[in-house]
Amino acid sequence: MSYCGVKTEEHLEYNQLLDEYLLGCKTEQRIGLEYERIPVSRFGSNVIPYEGEFGVREFLREFAKSDNWDYILDGEEIIGLKKLHDTITLEPGCQFELSLEPKETVHELKARIEEIDRALKPILEEFEIKLLNIGVSPQTTYKNIKLIPKKRYHVMANYLWGILSDVMMRETAGIQVGIDYKSEEDAMKKFRLANLMMPFATAMYANSKIRGGVDTGYKSFRALAWLNTDNDRCGFATRFDRNMCFKDYVNLLLDTPMIFINREDKVVSLNGRITFKQFMEAGYEDFIPTIDDWKLHANLYFPEVRLRNFIEIRNHDCVGGGLEYSIPALYKGIMYSKSAIEEVEELLNRYTTNEIKELRYNVARSAIHAKIGKFPILSICKELAEIAFYTLKTAGGGEEEYLVPLIKMLKHGKCPCEE
């Protein structure tokens, strides 16, 4: 059969692809957080390897035993841990990613992170590891960081063609926020706005200046790495069209080259030979598409803001010292308030699509000192933070306190790597 011009196999229809997003509509307004940190030696800044007596694999094994977490395995290798709805997984270069079950308040996210960090502390001390709240490894570069033994990472490393894709995979750490949507219209309004905000947020949290022990000349080398990873699947997943809908996002994904599929615990490399649309039309060798193939393909798409059964806002360097909690607070204060959304739209709609796209490049080097057109963006960053602060303060839950460190830093005209 065919639907919207797409020929499908019997067991996978175009509507099933759309359903992945339509089923994300919900009445809750929760906040999710993915928090990556770089594990380094307590007595230097070298990244801790996966293997070895005091490596990350043994650390995970010991922590699982001490705090009753279950293994996440790839074959026989430990690649992460899970406990109820929370996970600790490893990024390609051993970066720790803590993914939390979405919460109603930033207070709850902070309490859960602190609870997990208290449990981690004695094992970290035993293994002489510290977790850095920073956007790029300050000392060890990718040439001295082995990929962990997760099959998909090795296929991705061979496929991603950007000149800094190895830096992105092995050296960087970020913080991602997930927000809920109530309807398709609500989702696409928030999706558009999050994309407009993204370069400004990247600037506010720029924290990856030092790499290989030297000043790179960029405030966010991590942002630069993403600019040079894979233009087919990175960047903006929108043309900032107010009429964009779920079908438009699905069609973008359909036209994106595929990296691999999984079959019977084996990774089958496609290496960009076909798009998902072509896969649906004709299959690949003896393989026909399944909904799991679509979910995997969607997860291997890395735009600034990603649509899932929530909206994933992605491009913030990892930060610490309390600033990490300002990131979910910023988006909660804006995205869950009709008046705040309208204020931010009015603030940002004055800029053209080309100006927003160009800003994405400028903030990697200059962060909050960048300009959009002829105008410095610092005042816009301040206004975004203040809008979120006022909304949260009006709500009366006390969550505006998490924005105070951000507002103070911006008041002094600084971003995290300058503090």
| Pairwise CA distance, residues 168 & 165, whole Å | 5
Percent of the chain residues topping a pLDDT of 90: 96
Given a cut of 50, whether residue 1 has pLDDT beyond it is no
Q: Supply the pLDDT for residue 10.
A: 55
Instruction: Give this prediction's pTM.
Output: 0.95
Instruction: Assign 44 a pLDDT band (cuts: 50, 70, 90).
Output: confident
Q: Is the pLDDT of residue 144 over 60?
A: yes
What pLDDT, on a 0 to 100 scale, did the predictor assign at position 199? Answer: 98
Tens-place pLDDT, residues 78-91: 999 999 999 999 99
Distance CA 333, CA 284 (A): 46
pLDDT at 225 exceeding the cut of 50? yes
Q: What's 28-254+304-418's CATH class? A: alpha beta
* pLDDT at residue 4 in the model: 41
CA atoms of 89 and 383, how far apart (whole Å): 35
pLDDT higher than threshold 50 for residue 6: no
What is the biggest distance separating any 2 CA atoms in the chain, rounded to whole angstroms?
Answer: 62
Rg of the chain in Å (alpha carbons): 21
- C-alpha to C-alpha distance for 66 and 58, rounded to whole angstroms: 12
- Give the model confidence (pLDDT) of 328-368 as tens digits: 999 999 999 999 999 999 999 999 999 999 999 999 999 99
**16: Cβ contacts below 8 Å, ≥ 6 apart:** 291, 294
DSSP character at residue 279: H
Residues 285-319 have pLDDT tens digits of 999 999 999 999 999 999 999 999 999 999 999 99
Question: What percent of the chain is helix, strand and coil (3-state, nearest 5)?
Answer: 45, 20, 35
Band (2; pLDDT cuts 50, 70, 90): very low
Is the confidence at residue 143, as pLDDT, over 60? yes
H, E, C per residue of 51-78: CCCCCHHHHHHHHHHHHCCEEEEECCEE
Q: What is the per-residue pLDDT across 390-404, written as a single tens digit (0 to 9) for each?
A: 999 999 999 999 999
What is the distance, to the nearest Å, from the Cα of residue 391 to the centroid of all Cα atoms in its chain? Answer: 25
Q: Is the pLDDT of residue 378 over 90?
A: yes
